[in-house]
Amino acid sequence: MPIELDHIVLAVNERARSLAFYTGIVGLRHEGEDGPFSVLRVTPSFVILVSPHGTKGGEHLAFAMPKQEFDDLYARLKSAGIPYGGSFDSVGSTSGPGNEFGARGVGPSLYFFDPDRHLLEIRHYETA
């Protein structure tokens, strides 16, 4: 079996605010608590452990998803008035999606910040 990323620990300043953002805007599922961490399910084999230990932000998380989920999340961003952009350096421009490189090649992408200034990227890959 190849090496896979199993989980990451994401430090946040206000757990409840971050959980509301990642479930309500990003669309992840909160699966409960594990010690000091809140567990957010990303895929069947990958979770984010939300740590309430404070942060200055600065992490980058990129999520790939099917086009319909991308479109739905894009609509939630616009509806919530969350600034976004088509590249990492254009957040707030409300331009996009852009085309950026990821693990499976180039695909449409949007960038925005979570409540703690972690830079999030959402993307999908065009299928032939």
Q: Per-residue confidence of the chain (128 residues) as pLDDT tens digits? A: 699 999 999 999 999 999 999 999 999 999 999 999 999 999 999 999 999 999 999 999 999 999 999 999 999 999 999 999 999 999 999 998 999 999 999 999 999 999 999 999 999 998 75
Q: What is the largest CA-CA distance in the chain?
A: 44
Residue 126: what pLDDT?
A: 81
Has residue 57 been placed in a domain?
Answer: yes
Has residue 1 been placed in a domain?
Answer: no
**Residues spanned by the domain of 106:** 7-123
Has residue 30 been placed in a domain?
Answer: yes
Residue 80: what pLDDT?
A: 97
Has residue 88 been placed in a domain?
Answer: yes
Has residue 128 been placed in a domain?
Answer: no
| E runs forming strands in 1-128 | 7-11, 29-34, 37-43, 46-51, 60-64, 84-85, 98-102, 105-113, 119-123
Q: What is the CA radius of gyration of the chain?
A: 14
Domain count along the chain = 1
Phi-psi region of 32 (alpha: psi -120 to 50; beta: other; left: phi over 0): left
Q: What is the pTM of this model?
A: 0.93
Has residue 2 been placed in a domain?
Answer: no
| CATH, residue 33 | 3.10.180.10
